[in-house]
Structure 1
Amino acid sequence: MQSFRTELENPIVERDIIELERKIRLFREGSIPEEKFRSLRLARGVYGQRQQGVQMVRIKLPYGKMTLQQWKRIADISDEYSTGNLHLTTRQDVQIHFVSLDRTPELWSKLEQDDVTIREACGNTVRNITASDRAGIDPEEPFDVTPYADAAFRYFLRNPICQDMGRKIKIAFSSSDADSAWAFMHDFGMIPKVKEVNGKTVRGFKVLVGGGLGAQPFLAKTAFEFLEEDQLIPYIENVLRVFDRYGERTSRHKARMKFLVQKLGWEEFDRLVKEEYKAVKNKSVKVDYEAYKNSEAPVTGTVPAFTIRDPKLFETWKATNVFEQKQKGYFAAYVKVPLGNISSTVSRQLIEALRPVIADDVRVTANQGLLLKYILPAHLPYVFSVLEAQGFAAAGFDSIADITACPGTDTCNLAISSSTGIAEALENVIAAEFPDLVHNKDIKIKISGCMNSCGQHGIASIGFHGSSLKSGGKTLPALQVLLGGGIVGNGEGRVADKVIKVPSRRGPDVLRTLLHDYEINGQENEKFNEYYDRQGEKYFYELLKPLADLSAITDDAFIDWGQAEQFATAIGVGECAGVVIDLVATLLLEAQEKLELGTEAFDKGQFADGIYHAYSTFVQTAKALLLGEGIACNTQIGILNDFEKNFIATGQFSFEGDFKTVVLQINSNEPTETFAKAYYKQAADFYQAAQAFRVQKAATVQA
Structure 2
Amino acid sequence: MAIDITDRVSTAARRDILDLERRISSFQSGDIADEAFRKFRLTRGVYGQRQPGVQMIRIKLPYGRITADQLIRIADLSDKYATGNLHATTRQDIQLHFVKLADSPQLWAELEDAGITLKEACGNTVRNVTGSARAGIDPTEPFDITPYAYSIFDYFLRNPICQDMGRKFKIAVSSSEADSAYGYMHDVGLVPRMQDGKRGFKVMLGGGLGAQPFSAQTASEFMEEERIIPFIEGVIRVFDRYGERQKRHKARMKYLLNDIGLEEMLRLVEEETLALKVKEFDVQGLTFNVATESDEQPSTVNIEAQTENPAYATWLKTNVFEQKQAGWYAVQLRVLLGDMHSDTARALAEIVKQYAADDIRVTVNQGYLLRFVRPENLPAVFDALDALGLAEPGFDTTADITTCPGTDTCNLAISSSYGITRALETMMREEFPDLVFNDDIKIKISGCMNGCGQHSVANIGYHGSSLKNGAYVLPALQVLLGGGFNGKGEGLIADKVIKIPSKRGPDSLRYLLRDFETNAFDGEYFSDYYARQGKNYFYQLLKPLADLKTLVNTDYIDWDHTEAYVTEVGVGECASVLIDLVATTLEEATEKAGWSREALTDGRWADALYHAYNVFVTGAKAALMSRDVPTNTQYGIINDFDKTFAGEPGFHPTEGDFKAQVFSINKQEPSEAFARQFLTDADAFLHSVQTYRDAQIEHDGLPELHELVQAKDS
Q: TM exceeds 0.5? A: yes
Shift of 1:263: 1.1
What letter matches 1:118 in structure 2? L
Shift of 1:432: 0.2
**Selected match of 1:328 from 305, 326, 329:** 326
What's the counterpart of residue 269 of structure 2? 273
Kindly indicate whether the alpha-carbon contact (under 8 Å) linking 1:177 and 1:490 is maintained by their aligned counterparts in 2: no
For residues 7 and 491 of structure 1, the distance between their equivalents in structure 2, rounded to whole angstroms, comes to 48
Kindly indicate whether the alpha-carbon contact (under 8 Å) linking 1:469 and 1:503 is maintained by their aligned counterparts in 2: yes
What letter matches 1:672 in structure 2? S
What's the counterpart of residue 185 of structure 2? 185
For residues 563 and 491 of structure 1, the distance between their equivalents in structure 2, rounded to whole angstroms, comes to 40
Shift of 1:323: 0.3
Structure 1 residues 281 and 395, CA gap change in structure 2 (3 angstroms): same
1:672-687 aligned at under 5 Å gives the runs 672-687=671-686
1:140-219 aligned at under 5 Å gives the runs 140-196=140-196, 201-219=197-215
- 2:513 aligned with 1:518, yes or no? no
- 2:604 aligned with 1:613, yes or no? no
Shift of 1:8: 3.3
1:326-475 aligned at under 5 Å gives the runs 326-475=324-473
Kindly indicate whether the alpha-carbon contact (under 8 Å) linking 2:624 and 2:641 is maintained by their aligned counterparts in 1: yes
In structure 2, the residue corresponding to 1:551 is in which secondary structure? Answer: helix
**Runs of 5+ unmatched residues, structure 1:** 303-307, 576-580
- 2:260 aligned with 1:264, yes or no? yes
For residues 587 and 287 of structure 1, the distance between their equivalents in structure 2, rounded to whole angstroms, comes to 38
What letter matches 1:423 in structure 2? T
What's the counterpart of residue 557 of structure 1? 555
Kindly indicate whether the alpha-carbon contact (under 8 Å) linking 1:70 and 1:114 is maintained by their aligned counterparts in 2: yes
Kindly indicate whether the alpha-carbon contact (under 8 Å) linking 1:301 and 1:356 is maintained by their aligned counterparts in 2: no
For residues 169 and 216 of structure 1, the distance between their equivalents in structure 2, rounded to whole angstroms, comes to 16
Structure 1 residues 568 and 113, CA gap change in structure 2 (3 angstroms): same
For residues 524 and 487 of structure 2, the distance between their equivalents in structure 1, rounded to whole angstroms, comes to 18
1:36-92: CA deviation from partner (whole Å, max 9, x where unpaired): 000000000000000011000000000000011111111111011100000000000
1:354-396: CA deviation from partner (whole Å, max 9, x where unpaired): 3111110000000000001000111111111011101111000
What letter matches 1:276 in structure 2? E
**Selected match of 2:288 from 288, 293, 314:** 293
What letter matches 2:62 in structure 1? P
For residues 520 and 498 of structure 1, the distance between their equivalents in structure 2, rounded to whole angstroms, comes to 23
1:478-498: CA deviation from partner (whole Å, max 9, x where unpaired): 000011101259984111111
Kindly indicate whether the alpha-carbon contact (under 8 Å) linking 1:27 and 1:37 is maintained by their aligned counterparts in 2: yes
Shift of 1:574: 10
What's the counterpart of residue 578 of structure 1? none
In structure 2, the residue corresponding to 1:58 is in which secondary structure? Answer: strand
Kindly indicate whether the alpha-carbon contact (under 8 Å) linking 1:188 and 1:211 is maintained by their aligned counterparts in 2: yes
What's the counterpart of residue 243 of structure 1? 239
**Runs of 5+ unmatched residues, structure 2:** 299-305, 574-578, 703-714
Q: Aligned pair count?
A: 687
Structure 1 residues 617 and 489, CA gap change in structure 2 (3 angstroms): farther
Shift of 1:309: 12
For residues 631 and 582 of structure 1, the distance between their equivalents in structure 2, rounded to whole angstroms, comes to 16
For residues 307 and 428 of structure 2, the distance between their equivalents in structure 1, rounded to whole angstroms, comes to 23
Shift of 1:536: 1.2
What's the counterpart of residue 655 of structure 1? 652
What's the counterpart of residue 117 of structure 1? 117
Kindly indicate whether the alpha-carbon contact (under 8 Å) linking 1:354 and 1:383 is maintained by their aligned counterparts in 2: no
For residues 570 and 308 of structure 2, the distance between their equivalents in structure 1, rounded to whole angstroms, comes to 46
For residues 298 and 381 of structure 1, the distance between their equivalents in structure 2, rounded to whole angstroms, comes to 23
1:420-450: CA deviation from partner (whole Å, max 9, x where unpaired): 1000000011100000111000000100001
What letter matches 1:145 in structure 2? I
Kindly indicate whether the alpha-carbon contact (under 8 Å) linking 1:399 and 1:444 is maintained by their aligned counterparts in 2: yes
In structure 2, the residue corresponding to 1:395 is in which secondary structure? Answer: coil
What's the counterpart of residue 305 of structure 1? none
Shift of 1:564: 1.2
For residues 7 and 583 of structure 2, the distance between their equivalents in structure 1, rounded to whole angstroms, comes to 34
Please provide the CA RMSD for this pair: 2.0
Structure 1 residues 114 and 12, CA gap change in structure 2 (3 angstroms): same
For residues 640 and 652 of structure 1, the distance between their equivalents in structure 2, rounded to whole angstroms, comes to 18
What letter matches 2:502 in structure 1? S
For residues 122 and 610 of structure 2, the distance between their equivalents in structure 1, rounded to whole angstroms, comes to 22
For residues 501 and 574 of structure 1, the distance between their equivalents in structure 2, rounded to whole angstroms, comes to 29
For residues 361 and 186 of structure 1, the distance between their equivalents in structure 2, rounded to whole angstroms, comes to 25
Shift of 1:654: 2.2
What letter matches 1:253 in structure 2? H
Structure 1 residues 155 and 461, CA gap change in structure 2 (3 angstroms): same
Amino-acid identity (%): 56
For residues 259 and 128 of structure 2, the distance between their equivalents in structure 1, rounded to whole angstroms, comes to 26
For residues 28 and 214 of structure 1, the distance between their equivalents in structure 2, rounded to whole angstroms, comes to 33
For residues 166 and 631 of structure 1, the distance between their equivalents in structure 2, rounded to whole angstroms, comes to 19
What's the counterpart of residue 482 of structure 2? 484
Kindly indicate whether the alpha-carbon contact (under 8 Å) linking 1:8 and 1:109 is maintained by their aligned counterparts in 2: no
Give the TM-score normalised by the residue count of structure 2.
0.94
1:153-197: CA deviation from partner (whole Å, max 9, x where unpaired): 00000000000100000000000001101111000000001111x
Structure 1 residues 492 and 652, CA gap change in structure 2 (3 angstroms): farther
Kindly indicate whether the alpha-carbon contact (under 8 Å) linking 1:362 and 1:373 is maintained by their aligned counterparts in 2: yes
In structure 2, the residue corresponding to 1:624 is in which secondary structure? Answer: helix
For residues 243 and 296 of structure 1, the distance between their equivalents in structure 2, rounded to whole angstroms, comes to 42
Shift of 1:636: 0.5
1:220-246: CA deviation from partner (whole Å, max 9, x where unpaired): 111111111111000000011110010
What letter matches 1:471 in structure 2? N
Structure 1 residues 211 and 490, CA gap change in structure 2 (3 angstroms): farther
1:91-132: CA deviation from partner (whole Å, max 9, x where unpaired): 000000000111111000000011100000000000000000
Shift of 1:473: 1.2
Deviates more, 1:486-495 or 1:498-507: 486-495
Kindly indicate whether the alpha-carbon contact (under 8 Å) linking 2:219 and 2:262 is maintained by their aligned counterparts in 1: no
Structure 1 residues 147 and 354, CA gap change in structure 2 (3 angstroms): closer
For residues 310 and 623 of structure 1, the distance between their equivalents in structure 2, rounded to whole angstroms, comes to 71
For residues 597 and 184 of structure 2, the distance between their equivalents in structure 1, rounded to whole angstroms, comes to 40
What letter matches 2:226 in structure 1? D
Deviates more, 1:556-565 or 1:487-496: 487-496
1:253-312: CA deviation from partner (whole Å, max 9, x where unpaired): 0000000001112222111111000111101110113x543644487999xxxxx99921
In structure 1, the residue corresponding to 2:549 is in which secondary structure? Answer: coil
Give the TM-score normalised by the residue count of structure 1.
0.95
